[in-house]
Amino acid sequence: MLEFKDEGNTCYVSGELSQTEVIRLWPRVDKLVTLGVASIDLSAINYSDTAGVALLLHIVALQHRAGASLTLCHPPQQLQKLIDLYDLQDFFVEEAN
């Protein structure tokens, strides 16, 4: 199960970023991350597929449309492979600023 937990200006995401979880969470995607959050920590993700990456990028886009910036940080190695494969390094950072 995929979980989003806001703590201060960071949202910690844990679990699987899979197509099944994306489908489950999509009806409330706009409520997964509050506007006060500046970064999403992905270090506790144990699996991600391309649907999971698309969900993260959609959340970033929602935040930008609302006038906020959002950084995706600490991607685990398995997710980093997808980031590299799809040349998405501009959206992810190793450390939160």
Give residue-wise pLDDT tens across range 23-59: 999 999 999 999 889 999 999 999 999 999 999 999 9
Share of the chain above pLDDT 90, in %: 86
DSSP helix/strand/coil, 33: coil
Say which CATH superfamily domain 3-93 falls into. STAS domain (3.30.750.24)
Mean predicted confidence (pLDDT) in 73-94? 91
Can you tell me which residue has the tokens 């450390």? 95
Percentages of the chain per state (helix, strand, coil), in multiples of 5: 40, 30, 30
Instruction: For the chain, give every domain's residue range.
Output: 3-93
Model confidence, pTM:
0.91
Cα gap 54→13, rounded to integer Å: 15
